[in-house]
Amino acid sequence: MAIKNLKDLYLDQLKDLYSACKQSMPMVTELGRAAKSRELSEALIAGNQGIARGMEVLSELCNRHDADPTGEHCRGMEGLIIEAKKHAIEAEYADEDAQDAAIITQYQRMMHYAIAGYGCVRSFANRLDLDSDAAVLQECLDKTWEGDRHMTKIAEGGVNMAAMDGR
């Protein structure tokens, strides 16, 4: 389908973001299993719960506009997942803390992609006067930022320091 206007682009990007979220969930689960820090593992479990809630919102918004949320495949997230697997799961680590730092890095890269996506679709919804859409997308954006800040606290609160030691 050719994108003819901002509404078409909005729907296309909702579907792309839905795909990104759906693809990220198995990798976040894998990152959580690989994490040695209990705090990090728990944060990744919570992150997956947030991603699932975001998918529910995106699905509801697509349905509200008679669009199928499953109609796209996000190649951007596909690439980020490949990188996360390579750098945080398959790479050989002599130090568990260094691997935890890598897990945080890769998770945050995926979340920053979602932050950009939520910010764009929220802006489109605002421009299209879709106030209720914009409000729930802002909530998703805020929650994603909150999760990102929590990961930064975990990294700066101990994981990065522990990774310096190379125990």
CATH code (residue 46): 1.20.1260.10
Residue 108 lies in a domain: yes
Q: How does pLDDT run across 27-85, given as a tens digit for each residue? A: 999 999 999 999 999 999 999 999 999 999 999 999 999 999 997 999 999 999 999 99
Residue 1 lies in a domain: no
Report the sign of the C-alpha dihedral through residues 42, 97, 143, 80, in that order: negative
Residue 139 lies in a domain: yes
pLDDT of the residue at 165? 76
d(CA 93, CA 116): 31
pLDDT of the residue at 71? 79
Residue 109 lies in a domain: yes
Q: Where in the sequence is the domain holding 157, given as residue range(s)?
A: 6-165
Q: Is the pTM of this model over 0.85?
A: yes
Confidence of residue 114 (pLDDT cuts 50, 70, 90): very high
pLDDT of the residue at 167? 54
Average pLDDT rounded to a whole number, residues 104-117 = 98
Res 139 pLDDT > 70: yes
Average pLDDT rounded to a whole number, residues 149-162 = 95
Report the sign of the C-alpha dihedral through residues 46, 52, 56, 61, in that order: positive
Q: What is the tally of structural domains in the chain? A: 1
CB 23 within 8 A of CB 76: no
d(CA 16, CA 10): 10
Helix and strand totals (H; E) in the chain: 6, 0
Q: What are phi and psi of 35, to 5 degrees?
A: -65, 135
Residue 78 lies in a domain: yes
Arithmetic mean of pLDDT over the chain? 96
Residue 68 lies in a domain: yes
Average pLDDT rounded to a whole number, residues 131-138 = 99
- Between 165 and 139, name the one with better pLDDT: 139
Residue 134 lies in a domain: yes
Residue 157 lies in a domain: yes
